[in-house]
Structure formats: C-alpha cells, structure tokens
Amino acid sequence: MVASEKDFENAVHQVKLLKEDPGNDAKLKLYALYKQATEGPCNVPKPRVFDFLGRAKWDAWTALGSLPKETARQNYVDFVSSLRPSLTSSSGEGPAAHRSLPESEDVVVTSKDSITVITLNRPAKKNAITYQMYQDITLALKAASKDNSTITVFTGNGNYYSSGNDLSNFSNRSGSLQQMYAESALTLRNFVDSFIDFPKPLVALVNGPAVGIAVTVLGLFDAVYASDRATFHTPFSSLGITPEGCSSYTFPKIMGPAKAAEMLIFGKKITAREACAQGLVTEVFPHNTFQKEAWARLTAYAKNPPKAMRIGKQLLRSFGKETLHAVNAEECRVLQERWLSEECVNAIQTFFSKKGKL
Ligand SMILES: CCCC/C=C/CC(=O)SCCNC(=O)CCNC(=O)[C@H](O)C(C)(C)COP(=O)(O)OP(=O)(O)OC[C@H]1O[C@@H](n2cnc3c(N)ncnc32)[C@H](O)[C@@H]1OP(=O)(O)O
C-alpha cells in the first residue's frame, strides 16, 4: 500500500511528538527522506567543509539519489512507525496509548465509577486551549477509547468551561508562518478527528461560559449538560476566522440554518437555556446543584451494559462519519488561510493590547 498525503503529514506530526531523541542517524534519515518526499532529489549546493551538520544532511539527502517522491514518502512513514516506542503516539497504538493518565497539568485525566473524566485545568486563563493541550486532549481521547471506562466526560476547572483557542498559540512558536499554520491546521484536524471517531458515549459538563472551539465540538458529543451560568459563544467573524469543529455541518443540522448562522457568522452569544431550546444542550441545571445532579445522572448511566451503549452510539453516528471527516478537512484548510489574513492578525493584536474582549 502507498502512503497517502495524510499518512505522511501524520508521520511528520508524530516526529514532533517524539519523547526521546532517536539519535543522529535516525534524525538524518528522517531529514533526508522528508526532503526527498517533498522536494525530490537534492537540489542545493554542497555546504562548506566546516559546516559539519549541513554537510551531514546534504550527504544523507544526496545519498537517496533519484528515489521517487512517493517511495521516499512511504519509507518515511514506515521509518516513523518503526520508531513508535519512543513516540507519544497519537495513533492510539503503542505503549503511550495505554497510559491511564497523560502527564499534563493543563489537561487532567481521572477515573471514577467507570467514567473517564478529562478536565481542562487552566483556570487562571479561563481554560484557554494551548497548542500542547490540543495534542494532550487528542491523546487523552485515544487512551479513553481503549480504557475500561463506559463513558467519557469532558469538563473545565474554575468558573469557565473554556475560552477556546489560546490566542497566543501563534505568537510563541518558532519556524516560518506558513509552516506554523500548516502544523496548526494538522493538529486541529487530528484533534477534531479524535472527537468524530470517539467510540464510547461522550458527555460534556459545561460548568461555565464556553467560547470558540470549546463550543463547536459540542456538536460531536452525545450529551451536553450545562450549568445555568454557561453561555455559548463563537465569535469567529470578529476574530477574522471561520467555523471549525465540524460546526459548519453539525450546527445547521442541530439548530437549523438560521440559528446556526446567528451563532457562527454573526457571533451571537446564547445562554444555556437558549442552547437547550436549540438542541445543542441536552439539559440545564441550576449552578448550585449542577455537579450533584449531573453526576447522579452520569453514575446511573455508566451502569448500563457498555457494549450496548457503544453499539448504540455506532448506529447513531457511524453513517455521517465520512462527511464529518470531509467537513473537518475543509474547515481546517480554510482556517489555515484565514490565520494569515489581516483581519485575523489585527483581531489577535487587539485582544492582547487589552482593547478587545468578547
Ligand atoms: C490551533 C487550533 C486553533 C483552533 C481555533 C479555534 C477558534 C476559537 O476558539 S475562537 C475563540 C478564541 N477565544 C477568544 O477570543 C476569547 C478571548 N478571551 C476573552 O475575550 C476574555 O478573556 C474572556 C471573555 C474569555 C474572559 O474575560 P475576563 O475579563 O473574565 O477574564 P480575562 O482577564 O480576560 O482572562 C483571564 C486571563 O486569561 C487570559 N485569556 C482568557 N482567554 C484567553 C484566550 N482565549 N487566549 C489567551 N488568553 C486568554 C487573559 O488574557 C487573562 O490573562 P492575564 O491574566 O495574563 O491578563
């Protein structure tokens, strides 16, 4: 089988998650195969003799001669998969996927009464989701899909559920802008894919306001319980960006095109009760009894036979899956372009100059 573009992109992404240094030989091999797969045979002049690293890289790339790009891509994917024990694997295979709890302070995974709970734990920043957290959540979902829990719950610590994407995600990374946005789009795509493919019942406990991507992926959950202090806000247009999390497909289906447009295009913030009336939220509880009532509900549900619940979910969800993956890919492609736009750059600058809040 020939590796697809997506297999290759995933392999490139996995290399960035390497927990251990694979050693110089492996790094040179990865470099050479990557260059060959993306640019073809070596096309740059030989570096000077004292540029040891440049020379070693050039030698490794040149040694691949006229190996076709497709073969180099396949070899790269195969080689990365042979390195898997030292990866933090986002594929769900390998030792990392079987860890019960990913080691992260900002995304905490706990287990209670056959329920795996994934908690966004950055209350001082309103649980804004950093680049690392997207990867941690993806891993946590992969691990939860294989653990022995019956239900998985998502919630936030503090007075916010989540303020969505951390707006500094693009200001503290290295590399060219194009490369950073391409990596971000791939990370986002993998993140959303892990919700689309999650095989067990997935429940959100929305303990407070939810913004941006924290709202959009709710359309991929099986139940959404909200405190009456929660609000739901997707201010994409004012940020110069466009909907993600498959919301351009799920929201019109859930609430009808007019209500979806009000939220996703005009950025209308809605209350928990409005979200419930529109079908995005399953049930709203008074804030002071929210945890108690929602947990009583979940504990009872978790006693259901797990296989029946899984198969039930499969029947409800599997038919639209291909469409969801296509929507996710397209949303990420469009966003990648938007991030480069003047509208988006200005909106983020305004936020950090403290002039602009939602
Ligand atoms: C790579 C994949 C990309 C996927 C794309 C997803 C799109 C989205 O998710 S769009 C939504 C982005 N989110 C926002 O625009 C929210 C921005 N935040 C705010 O408007 C306000 O912070 C708030 C209304 C959420 C809360 O206001 P409040 O006055 O109560 O608290 P603050 O003092 O503003 O916040 C405390 C602290 O937290 C920082 N912070 C809050 N949210 C974010 C955020 N989204 N990104 C970065 N930082 C955030 C805020 O700056 C404060 O920090 P300091 O204490 O250091 O000043």
Domain CATH for 160: 3.90.226.10
Count of CB atoms situated within 10 Å of the CB of 321: 12
221 and 74: one domain? no
295 and 213: one domain? yes
318 lies in some domain:
yes
96 lies in some domain:
no
Query: Domain boundary at 83, 109, 132, which?
Result: 83
The confidence score (pLDDT) of residue 356 equals 63
b or e along 264-288 (b: 16 or more beta carbons within 10 Å of the residue's beta carbon)?
A: beeeeebbbebbbebebbbebbebe
CA dihedral of 135, 136, 137, 140, whole degrees rounded to 10: 130
114 lies in some domain:
no
Each residue's pLDDT tens digit, 283-331: 999 999 999 999 999 999 999 999 999 999 999 988 899 999 999 999 9
Q: Which helix (H) or strand (E) holds 211?
A: strand 210-211
278 and 148: one domain? yes
Q: What is the DSSP letter of 86?
A: G
ipTM for the predicted complex:
0.99
112 lies in some domain:
no
186 and 308: one domain? yes
162 and 29: one domain? no
91 lies in some domain:
no
60 and 157: one domain? no
162 and 246: one domain? yes
138 lies in some domain:
yes
208 and 73: one domain? no
Mutate-to-test residue for ligand 1 from 106, 138, 163, 248, highest number of ligand atoms within 8 A of CB: 163
352 lies in some domain:
yes
Report the pocket of ligand 1 as residue ranges, CB < 6 Å.
125-126, 128, 163-169, 184, 187-188, 211-213, 235, 239, 244, 351, 357-358
160 and 300: one domain? yes
The number of folded domains in the chain is 2
102 lies in some domain:
no
| Contacts of 142 by beta carbon, 8 Å cutoff, 6+ apart | 89, 90, 91, 92, 97, 194
Closest atom of ligand 1 to CA, residue 168:
47
Domain CATH for 54: 1.20.80.10
Instruction: Give 164 Cα–ligand 1 centroid separation in angstroms.
Output: 7
57 and 170: one domain? no
Instruction: Give 126 Cα–ligand 1 centroid separation in angstroms.
Output: 7
51 and 178: one domain? no
Query: Domain boundary at 83, 112, 138, which?
Result: 83
3-state SS class at 13 = helix
**Residue tagged 């009464």 (tokens):** 113
pLDDT digit string (tens) for the chain, length 358 residues: 677 887 888 888 778 766 677 878 888 999 999 999 999 999 999 888 777 788 888 999 999 999 889 989 988 888 887 776 554 333 333 223 333 444 689 999 999 889 999 999 999 999 999 999 999 999 999 999 999 999 999 999 999 999 999 999 988 777 788 888 999 999 999 999 999 999 999 999 999 999 999 999 999 999 999 999 999 999 999 999 999 999 999 999 999 999 999 999 999 999 999 999 999 999 999 999 999 999 999 999 999 999 999 999 999 988 899 999 999 999 999 999 999 999 998 888 888 886 666 7
Each residue's pLDDT tens digit, 171-216: 877 778 888 899 999 999 999 999 999 999 999 999 999 999 999 9
59 and 167: one domain? no
Print the domain residue range for 66: 5-83
Query: Domain boundary at 56, 83, 110, which?
Result: 83
